[in-house]
Amino acid sequence: MTVHVKPRSRKNAIEWIDDETAKISVTAIAEKGKANEAVVEVLAEDLGIAKSCMEIVRGKTTRIKQVEIKKLFEK
């Protein structure tokens, strides 16, 4: 999924554009991965899954990121 990130916002929030795209505002600053961690937390909470099920696969240093959701259940 594609995520557009706005760091240093007043509050953590998520706005879904469509099923695969979201705008996420986080209070964390974009320094030493703090904003990336906050993005994963906000997204995981909104989707109701564990943070460990997600990974930022592209865009770790940019505002537009690709997030991959790993397998939720293993056989």
Q: Where are the domains of the chain?
A: 2-69
- pLDDT on residue 19: 93
Domain 2-69 has CATH 3.30.1200.10: yes
| CA–CA distances in Å: residue 60 to residues 8, 55, 73 | 16, 10, 26
pLDDT digits (tens, 9 = 90+) for 4-44: 999 999 999 999 999 999 999 999 999 999 999 999 999 99
pTM to 2 decimal places:
0.88
pLDDT at 72 over 80: no
Q: Do residues 47 and 11 touch, judged by C-beta distance below 8 A?
A: no
- Dihedral angle over CA of 50, 55, 62, 47, nearest 10: -30
- pLDDT on residue 71: 72
Span between the terminal Cα atoms of the chain, in Å = 24
